Amino acid sequence: MEFYTKPGEYDAINYIPPAESHGTKELWRTFWILLGITVLDFIIYFVMPHTGFRNFIFIFFGIVKAYYIVGAFMHMKYEKINLALIILVPTVFIIGLVMGLLYEGNALTYAK
Amino acid sequence: MANHQQAAFEQQPMWAGGRSPFNVSYGKLMMWLFLLSDAFTFSSLLVQYGAQRFSNVQTPIVTKWPDPASIFNHFPFMHGLHLPLLFVSVMTFILIMSSVTMVLAVEAGHRKSKKEVVRYMIYTIIGGAMFLGCQAWEWSVFIGEGATLYGNQFGITEAGHKVFGALNFGDHFEWEPEYRTAGPVPFAALFFIVTGFHGFHVFSGVIINVAVTIMAARGAFDRRGHYEMIEKAGLYWHFVDLVWVFVFTFFYLI
């Protein structure tokens, strides 16, 4: 099989879908959201006492920021659902790893 | 030519081979899969950090994990002031800002505007270099206070229980080194490994951005007919920003 096809011929391997611009309005909106959440992080850090609930808020904000970075900046919102699923579904295992190891870490305290 | 190819592409059945069922090019798909594997690498590091931290809560035998506010409280040109989180927030802002200029370069690439692509890419490179400089400063301060890979003098402080939020209303100032006791050993080591690994990603991202900018400025993408290389470099750069969001959350906020 030839990998280098002649110009004008259909070429599955080197095919690049045409790019379309979605404008800069949404990008700047995403920037303000990210900045706002970071400022909110900063304020909450000084206002609230250090509790598990505050940690939960920080992790939740981290996930919200991740949603906006992956969705708008990395263009995931406009990709096919197939691509979004093969990238995003495996990250569910990270949550399992976090849950498991934090639980075990707590148990380690008393094993020491 | 492009329309002809697009029509031929759309006619192929989705899962029968000969076309990408994801409607992205080979290179972009591989970049996404690389980022997924890199996400697992970083999450394993962060999970290790979490496990170490959770296994170092205060008991009679085990020492407590130090409060990051009492350690990362420096700001350039403001010697001796207790300013927790401020410098890291500035670093976060720099990285978010460079992410925005990167995405503006990608958007300009969609419009095939070479001049704008090069301009925004140069802003992005400047942002990355500024971030690296900030991190070098933070490391040098941390090492200057005595942090090593093998030991940790940052432990719980005597006045630690008087802390409300990050504001201290106690008699002692808990960030003063003389109130510190030795803490859990992995603290400094994990800080160096995780922020070092992230910093190395930023460094390679800056190198990639410089290479891509030179290619764009010399018109390589105009000859190729598309600016997809900017998109691929952009995916990597946004991923670096994404990782920093979580490093910031776990190392400094929690």
Based on its alpha-carbon atoms, the radius of gyration of chain B, rounded to whole angstroms, reads: 23
In this complex, do B5 and A10 lie within 8 Å of one another by their Cβ atoms?
Answer: yes
Q: In this complex, is the C-beta atom of B92 within 8 Å of any C-beta atom belonging to chain A?
A: yes
Q: In this complex, is the C-beta atom of B62 within 8 Å of any C-beta atom belonging to chain A?
A: yes
Domains of chain B: 24-71+84-174+183-253 (1.20.120.80)
The model carries a pTM of: 0.87
pLDDT at residue number B146: 78
Q: In this complex, is the C-beta atom of A78 within 8 Å of any C-beta atom belonging to chain B?
A: no
Residue B50 is nearest to which of A61, A87, A102, comparing CB atoms?
A102
Q: In this complex, is the C-beta atom of B18 within 8 Å of any C-beta atom belonging to chain A?
A: yes
Q: What does each C-alpha distance from A112 to A105, A109, B42 come to in angstroms? A: 11, 6, 27
Q: What does each C-alpha distance from B145 to B66, B82, B93, B123, B176 come to in angstroms? A: 14, 15, 26, 33, 11
Q: How far is B60 from chain A, CA to nearest CA, in Å?
A: 10
Tokens of B168: 């201290």
pLDDT at residue number B196: 95
pLDDT at residue number B195: 95
Tens of pLDDT, residues A79-94: 889 899 999 999 988 8
pLDDT at residue number B59: 60
pLDDT at residue number A95: 83
> What CA–CA distance (Å, rounded) separates B167 from B69?
9
* ipTM of the shown complex: 0.87
In this complex, do B166 and A65 lie within 8 Å of one another by their Cβ atoms?
Answer: no
pLDDT at residue number B152: 76
Pairing of strands B167-168, B163-164: antiparallel
> What CA–CA distance (Å, rounded) separates B102 from B91?
17
Residue B18 is nearest to which of A12, A17, A98, comparing CB atoms?
A12
pLDDT of A38 higher than 90: yes
In this complex, do A65 and B245 lie within 8 Å of one another by their Cβ atoms?
Answer: yes
pLDDT at residue number A16: 75
Which residues, given as ranges, of chain B have pLDDT below 50?
A: 1, 158-172, 174
Q: How far is A41 from chain B, CA to nearest CA, in Å?
A: 8
Residue of A nearest to B231 (CA): A74
In this complex, do A70 and B21 lie within 8 Å of one another by their Cβ atoms?
Answer: no
Tens of pLDDT, residues A39-70: 999 999 888 887 788 888 999 999 999 999 99
CB proximity list for B85: less than 8 A, separation 6 or greater = A42, A45, A46, B69, B72, B166, B252, B253
pLDDT at residue number B41: 94
Residue of A nearest to B10 (CA): A17
Three-state secondary-structure class, residue B180: strand
pLDDT at residue number B163: 41
Count of C-beta atoms within a 10 Å radius of residue A24: 14
> What CA–CA distance (Å, rounded) separates B70 from B83?
9
> What CA–CA distance (Å, rounded) separates A83 from A88?
9
Residue of B nearest to A64 (CA): B245
In this complex, do B93 and A35 lie within 8 Å of one another by their Cβ atoms?
Answer: yes
**How far does CA B68 lie from the centroid of its chain?**
18
Amino acid, res. B238 = H
Mutation choice for B interface testing from A45, A76, A95 by most B CBs within 10 A: A45
Q: What does each C-alpha distance from B84 to B68, B75, B88, B253 come to in angstroms? A: 8, 9, 9, 10
